[in-house]
Structure 1
Amino acid sequence: MEPSNFPRKRFFSLPVDSGGKATEFRPLSISSPQMLAFHLAWLSLFSCFFSTFSIPPLLPIIRRDLHLTNTDVGTAGIAAFIGSIFSRIFMGPVCDLLGPRVASSTLSFLTAPVVLATAFVSSPTSFIVVRFLQGFCLANFVANQFWMSCMFSSNIVGLANGVAAGWANVGAGVAQLVMPSLYSLVNSLNVPETRAWRIIFVVPAIFQAVTAILVLAYGQDLPSGNFRDRQQSSHKLQKENFATVFFHGLLNYRGWILGLAYGFSFGVEMTTDNIIAVYFYDRFGVSLEVAGTIAACFGMANLFSRPIGGIFSDKMAERFGMRGRLWGLWAVQTAAGVLCVVLGRVNSLWGSVAVMCLFSVFVQAASGLTFGVVPFVSKRSLGMIAGMTGSGGTVGAVVNQMLFFSGDKFSKQTSISLMGVTMIACTLPVTLIYFPQWGGMFCFPSLDPSTAREDDYSLLGWE
């Protein structure tokens, strides 16, 4: 994205390529701009996941206080995912035009009051509306992945994307663990149950606002500076507009397939985050705190499982090129589908916990593998492709929630197994992805890489 004569050693403490993107990933470093951007990106998205998934572990309390039916709970879950769908699609072109820093901080500022508003819901309708608006928080994921693709080179972009999103997704698991504990603490201070669960929503709201301030104050869009500076110096970029970026990405079929695949990796993960605590609470009769702890294990596996997917994608690419990335994605996601089927068939508590933990590793790694492919689809519309793929995740969550977890048509264990079968089937279209300069799963390249159109296919170019 930067000129080939981009200065290297003058400005950076990390080794960089000709575009200023880091060629090494050092997660314990906070060197500016690459590693500082990494830490700001994952922490900001972490706060958004924490906010969005702060409600599910408290559902046994909230549904009793608000007199929610199973249909109300299912509708609220769907509403949260629908809010995420449209906001992620919109977030892509915003990142393309304004940069990830402004896009991320603005979204977090706008949605923090919505999180706080959870404390004031008083009916099933207001609960569903708040859940819908909370779903907008998750659009920050698009800015997260866009930012990492701007800062890290092709040899480690899968790793950077995987760790940034994986560490951020841990926020869902931490919410499952922390929110019930906060509730118990406040309730132990003789605060009535109906008030205790409301008070604690000040915590995710403040956390999200603080991370937004940090991103705006210390973040940088690109190795060379911010998008605003680049736009002022580039006549070509000044001509770009929302519609151009939007339709250029929308017409790329690879984005649609990756969106479908992500719908049944991250979409399945979000659905599981939404129902897993209640599943163990209802089916095995464990306490609210124990159910939250078990559910936290699923979400917190992102600390290492999604990064493993990114590493695996980069290693497969190092040995087999783009074909390796695609084969790795298909194999890992199919294995995750099989484990999801098994999870619904296990009848013992500890057996279910063990299968759930293994399932979490594979389904989250599949998400990392998906975004190991995304940065190579389009240079001009990277944000749009990331937005389409990310939206696919929430579309998948909506589909799963509507088909399997709304109402009482299926038992939860049967629904989980059916979700696994659907996951296996919807991973098959990955076999259709083809890049003329890199090939596909079953096809060799048809173009010389040196003649391929960079604007159409690669963010990173051929250096």
Structure 2
Amino acid sequence: MTTNATPEKFNIFSFQGKMKILHLSWIAFFITFMVWFNFAPMLMAVKESLGLTTAEVKTLLILNVAFTIPARVIVGMLTDKYGPRLIYTGLLAICSIPCFAFAMADTFTQAAIARFALGLIGAGFVVGIRLVSEWFPHNELGTAEGIYGGWGNFGSAAAAFTLPTVAAICAGVFGGEEGWRWAMGLTGLVSLLYSFIFYKNVSDTPKGATYYRPKKAGAMEVTSKGDFWLLLVMKVPMYGALALLTWKLSPAGISMFSEFVVNTIYIGLAALYLFDSYHVWQVNKNIFVEPVAEIHKYSFKQVAVLNILYFATFGSELAVISMLPLFFSETFELTPVVAGMVASAYAFMNLMSRPGGGWLSDRYGRKPVLLILTAGLAIGYFVMGQVDSSWTVWLAVVAAMACSFFVQAGEGAVFAAVPLIKRRMTGQIAGMTGAYGNVGAVVYLTVLSLVDYSTFFLVIAATAVVGFIALLMMKEPEGHIAEVQEDGTVELISVS
């Protein structure tokens, strides 16, 4: 029995072996998030510089996340097929192009195309999940993935804190009022330069280990008839989220698209789902003819449960981070600066909470930790739903930070389980689960546009309860994952 992990000690201060891979990976993820979220802190400067309307700014924010949903699925497949080293390198290099294009945009159309294309970089997260899983054993995997996700995720907060200052410095050095262009262009340059560093210093697996690739390309493999139908069902919300984004751009929303264009997109999404389903059939039709050997089976139900949990955790985090400053400002009559500083405490929790969720999973088991964190998530958002102007500000901040701990630790616990389902498809599984986080954000932000703050938080709490119920059907990962090497021998990778 062997595993694809190296035996050296887990030492966060080391920059050798598997720890070097972990540090290079979270830095790559950090950069992708810094580039992906470089628009929000520069929003007012961009609006004034390009002469945009409020509706056009909202459109750019929507376009920023639209492409990420399908991109995470596609990038997950490419990672499994070609390896994380090549795909992460390509992603960092290629996405610098739309970043530069946005920095040089003169019209709304140019900015919109660049912002939509930049949604691709949001898929970088998926690549590192597969890479880290190749280097760490099961008893360290949750901690390693938590560090990767939590520290990398902080790239969005780093952009918020540093880019306005960088823009001001650039405006002073180069003159004019368009320092935002230099600041955004700088993030693209960092991404491009780091792609070379990453490619030169990373390998897909430890020396002598095998990198397992999917047997068939084009769709996720499943190992039973029931899982085939469940996979088709679980794809529906991803297309539904894209339809929801389209509706937001329709005459019923912000009127960016005409009724004809919107209906064309709806028809296109329906056709794309049918085409996708056909590929799922092509890859998996053999299971309707002969059963898969027991040793090679995995339960797609595990993936479905983790999808739902990431919908509630990361989906709510993306939605809440975007509305929390305004919530504190309106509820407690704070200035925008103070409200932003108070709300930033939510994002800061990522540095420790997400690794903490992974560490707890390594120590006490995936399912029990997820059950506790999901229950805490539901209670946390229920409490947030009770916050109003009668509360003291400090108590509301404590409630928000406590809630954020369960949210982000839950994210860490989800991705402590994702790599333990089927090694050769870890990228695809991570891609689908990651996409569900974006689906959750789209749904929650749509809900926010229709209801008050209290109801918004209570809706998230209700979906966390749904996640808790779904979690009861999940099995604790145990035993081994069986993967077949090129010479036909079977390798057993320990997951417990």
- Whether the 8 Å contact between 1:177 and 1:292 is mirrored in structure 2 is no
Given candidates 28, 31, 56, the residue that maps to 1:44 is 28
Task: Tell me how far apart the structure 2 counterparts of residues 327 and 120 of structure 1 sit (CA, whole Å).
Answer: 47
- Whether the 8 Å contact between 1:246 and 1:384 is mirrored in structure 2 is no
Given candidates 216, 230, 251, the residue that maps to 1:241 is 216
Q: 1:429 Cα shift?
A: 4.2
State the one-letter code of the partner of 1:37: I
Given candidates 273, 277, 282, the residue that maps to 2:321 is 273
Q: 1:402 Cα shift?
A: 2.4
Hey, what does 2:5 align to over in structure 1?
20
| Structure 1 stretch displaced more, 202-211 or 75-84 | 75-84
Hey, what does 2:135 align to over in structure 1?
151
Task: Tell me how far apart the structure 1 counterparts of residues 176 and 104 of structure 2 sit (CA, whole Å).
Answer: 15
Q: 1:152 Cα shift?
A: 0.7
- The residue correspondences of 1:345-384 to structure 2 (distance < 5 A) are 349-384=393-428
Hey, what does 1:306 align to over in structure 2?
354
Change (3 A) 1:86 1:462: closer
Task: Tell me how far apart the structure 1 counterparts of residues 343 and 35 of structure 2 sit (CA, whole Å).
Answer: 16
The C-alpha deviation readout for 1:407-431, integer Å capped at 9, x for no partner, is: xx445x3465245334434423433
Given candidates 136, 141, 161, the residue that maps to 1:177 is 161
Hey, what does 2:250 align to over in structure 1?
none
Pair 1:420-2:460 in alignment: yes
Q: 1:343 Cα shift?
A: 5.4
Q: 1:71 Cα shift?
A: 4.1
Hey, what does 1:59 align to over in structure 2?
43
- The residue correspondences of 1:191-202 to structure 2 (distance < 5 A) are 191-193=175-177, 195-202=178-185
State the one-letter code of the partner of 1:304: M
- Whether the 8 Å contact between 2:145 and 2:416 is mirrored in structure 1 is yes
Q: Which ranges in structure 2 are unaligned for 5 or more consecutive residues?
A: 232-299, 485-490
Q: 1:245 Cα shift?
A: 4.5
Change (3 A) 1:392 1:131: same
Q: 1:100 Cα shift?
A: 1.1
The C-alpha deviation readout for 1:308-343, integer Å capped at 9, x for no partner, is: 1111111221xxxx4424423423432443354345
Change (3 A) 1:128 1:287: farther
Hey, what does 1:394 align to over in structure 2?
438
Change (3 A) 1:462 1:246: closer
Q: Tell me the percent identity.
A: 25
Change (3 A) 1:403 1:373: same
Task: Tell me how far apart the structure 1 counterparts of residues 434 and 191 of structure 2 sit (CA, whole Å).
Answer: 20
Change (3 A) 1:29 1:107: same
- The residue correspondences of 1:451-462 to structure 2 (distance < 5 A) are 454=482, 460-461=493-494
Q: 1:55 Cα shift?
A: 1.2
State the one-letter code of the partner of 1:31: Q
Hey, what does 2:282 align to over in structure 1?
none
Q: 1:398 Cα shift?
A: 1.4
Pair 1:142-2:126 in alignment: yes
- The residue correspondences of 1:66-77 to structure 2 (distance < 5 A) are 66-77=50-61
Given candidates 429, 452, 469, the residue that maps to 1:385 is 429
- Whether the 8 Å contact between 1:41 and 1:144 is mirrored in structure 2 is yes
Task: Tell me how far apart the structure 1 counterparts of residues 463 and 160 of structure 2 sit (CA, whole Å).
Answer: 24
Hey, what does 2:14 align to over in structure 1?
29
SS of the aligned residue for 2:112 comes to helix
Given candidates 105, 118, 121, the residue that maps to 1:121 is 105
- Whether the 8 Å contact between 2:4 and 2:209 is mirrored in structure 1 is no
SS of the aligned residue for 1:58 comes to helix
- Whether the 8 Å contact between 1:87 and 1:136 is mirrored in structure 2 is yes
State the one-letter code of the partner of 2:358: G
Q: Which ranges in structure 1 are unaligned for 5 or more consecutive residues?
A: 6-17, 232-236, 440-448
- Whether the 8 Å contact between 1:181 and 1:289 is mirrored in structure 2 is no
Change (3 A) 1:364 1:323: closer
- Whether the 8 Å contact between 1:175 and 1:296 is mirrored in structure 2 is no
RMSD: 3.2
Task: Tell me how far apart the structure 2 counterparts of residues 66 and 284 of structure 1 sit (CA, whole Å).
Answer: 33
- The residue correspondences of 1:92-131 to structure 2 (distance < 5 A) are 92-131=76-115
SS of the aligned residue for 2:361 comes to helix
- Whether the 8 Å contact between 1:344 and 1:417 is mirrored in structure 2 is no
TM-score by length of 1: 0.79
- The residue correspondences of 1:192-341 to structure 2 (distance < 5 A) are 192-193=176-177, 195-224=178-207, 240-243=215-218, 245=220, 251=231, 252-277=300-325, 279=327, 290=338, 292-317=340-365, 322-341=366-385
Task: Tell me how far apart the structure 2 counterparts of residues 157 and 296 of structure 1 sit (CA, whole Å).
Answer: 28
- Whether the 8 Å contact between 1:169 and 1:300 is mirrored in structure 2 is no
Q: 1:170 Cα shift?
A: 0.9
- Whether the 8 Å contact between 2:381 and 2:458 is mirrored in structure 1 is no
Q: 1:399 Cα shift?
A: 1.4
State the one-letter code of the partner of 2:494: G
How many residues are treated as equivalent by the alignment?
417
- Whether the 8 Å contact between 2:378 and 2:461 is mirrored in structure 1 is no
- Whether the 8 Å contact between 1:245 and 1:380 is mirrored in structure 2 is no
Task: Tell me how far apart the structure 1 counterparts of residues 7 and 388 of structure 2 sit (CA, whole Å).
Answer: 43
- Whether the 8 Å contact between 1:305 and 1:361 is mirrored in structure 2 is yes
Change (3 A) 1:348 1:459: farther
- Whether the 8 Å contact between 2:373 and 2:406 is mirrored in structure 1 is no
Q: 1:167 Cα shift?
A: 0.5
Hey, what does 1:15 align to over in structure 2?
none
Task: Tell me how far apart the structure 2 counterparts of residues 65 and 282 of structure 1 sit (CA, whole Å).
Answer: 27
Change (3 A) 1:55 1:346: farther
SS of the aligned residue for 1:304 comes to helix
Hey, what does 1:162 align to over in structure 2?
146
| Structure 1 stretch displaced more, 339-348 or 374-383 | 339-348
SS of the aligned residue for 1:224 comes to coil
| Structure 1 stretch displaced more, 138-147 or 246-255 | 246-255
Q: 1:349 Cα shift?
A: 4.8
- Whether the 8 Å contact between 1:341 and 1:420 is mirrored in structure 2 is no
Change (3 A) 1:257 1:70: farther
Task: Tell me how far apart the structure 2 counterparts of residues 421 and 289 of structure 1 sit (CA, whole Å).
Answer: 28
SS of the aligned residue for 1:156 comes to helix
Q: 1:56 Cα shift?
A: 1.2
Change (3 A) 1:304 1:462: closer
- Whether the 8 Å contact between 1:176 and 1:292 is mirrored in structure 2 is no
Hey, what does 2:488 align to over in structure 1?
none
- Whether the 8 Å contact between 2:377 and 2:403 is mirrored in structure 1 is no
The C-alpha deviation readout for 1:433-459, integer Å capped at 9, x for no partner, is: 333xx48xxxxxxxxx66x77469x99
State the one-letter code of the partner of 1:461: S
Task: Tell me how far apart the structure 1 counterparts of residues 97 and 481 of structure 2 sit (CA, whole Å).
Answer: 44
Pair 1:433-2:473 in alignment: yes
- Whether the 8 Å contact between 1:170 and 1:303 is mirrored in structure 2 is yes
